[in-house]
A = this chain, B = another copy of it.
Amino acid sequence: MTVRLAVLGAGRIGQVHAQAIGAVPGAELVAVADAVEAAAQDLCERRGGTVRTIEQIEQAQDVNAVIICTPTDTHADLIERFVKAGKAVFCEKPVDLDVARARQVVDAVAAADGTLMVGFQRRFDPDFRALKAAIDAGRIGRVEMITLTSRDPGAPPADYISRSGGIFRDMTIHDFDVARWLLGEEVETVMAQASVLTDPAIGELGDYDSVNVILRTASGSQCTITNTRRASYGYDQRIEVHGALGTVAAMNHREANIELATAEGFTRPPLLNFFMSRYTAAYAAEIAAFVDAVRTGAPTPTTGEDGVRSLELAEASLRSVQTGRAVRLDAMPQAGA
């Protein structure tokens, strides 16, 4: 069976996914929708498929699955519509900025016995998978302490920040997902600190640019997350997992694998500067995994539930910053919603 896909939203990430579809044997891009028709047209010309409206795709007999890359505030509704239409759905994170609404969507997907995969591409990065494989093979024993370091080269535009839900919901959310994936146990308590250090404008928007979070599970495992919106040397993405028998770490990717030695010292190039070049292989593997789940009927490797849980961690972090208290996840109102 060929999996026939439609891409909703022909922007940056929609283009990445459309390209990924082309590289997956047994997958075919059949339709692209975008509010700006020219953008959809352009993508079809480069990657195949025909321009259609959301409605046409909803009713199409020749579409098995959709990839939602539209603005965040459309995610929840689109997921519900396409699951109801019997399509398997891949949706970029987050399901919704509001945890209660996101939970509602996930419940609806479950009730309809639908398929929903939420886009957390880091789980598909080849290095991070090798790190995870080492853990699963017992190389470091029981996981005890995780350190996640994520730094963006620069802050997104003010416009994006004002709609993103803030640093915990748009940036740290990826680390929350990685933490859950690696801890192998749900988080019980969250503590967080947040500052505005790189640009006062970010503070004026009610957001932060520099945060630290400590997650703690019931068994006492901990994970620290360090995020900043500015790193002069590129896009910094590191994982270190410490266990009873050892530690495994995934290192950064740099522009070129060379080193220059001069009187000033030994210099290697900066890191790749953009999340899309850093995670090129991860995005491709993520779509391949989605296609594979659709074809075989197996569960998707990430789910709507993963999307909700990471969102809850974002909300708990924000509450911890605001209250100066450790926040228990089971005391979050939405958890009971």
Q: A residues engaging B (CB < 8 A)?
A: 126-127, 130-131, 134, 139-140, 142, 144-145, 147, 149, 151, 189, 191, 193, 195-198, 210, 212, 214, 216, 220-222, 224, 226, 228, 230-233, 236, 242, 244-270, 324-326
Bound state CA distance, A197 and B195, in angstroms? 31
Q: Known A145-B210, A242-B151; judge A260-B247 contact (CB<8 A).
A: yes
Bound state CA distance, A130 and B256, in angstroms? 7
Bound state CA distance, A195 and B244, in angstroms? 14
In-complex Cβ contact of A221 among B195, B221, B226, B252 (8 A):
B195
User: Chain B residues with Cβ under 8 A from A263's Cβ?
Assistant: 232-233, 245-246, 270
Does the CB pair B264–A267 fall under 8 Å?
yes
User: Chain B residues with Cβ under 8 A from A212's Cβ?
Assistant: 145, 214, 222, 224
Bound state CA distance, A258 and B139, in angstroms? 13
Does the CB pair A261–B244 fall under 8 Å?
no
User: Chain B residues with Cβ under 8 A from A140's Cβ?
Assistant: 260, 262
Copies in the complex: 4
Does the CB pair A210–B222 fall under 8 Å?
yes
Bound state CA distance, A242 and B229, in angstroms? 12
Central interface residue in A249, A251, A262, A326, by most chain B CB within 10 Å: A262
Q: Known A212-B224, A214-B212, A224-B212; judge A257-B267 contact (CB<8 A).
A: no
User: Chain B residues with Cβ under 8 A from A248's Cβ?
Assistant: 258-261
In-complex Cβ contact of A258 among B191, B193, B249 (8 A):
B249
Does the CB pair A251–B262 fall under 8 Å?
no
User: Chain B residues with Cβ under 8 A from A236's Cβ?
Assistant: 247
How far does the Cβ of A14 sit from chain B's closest Cβ, in whole Å? 20
User: Chain B residues with Cβ under 8 A from A255's Cβ?
Assistant: 130
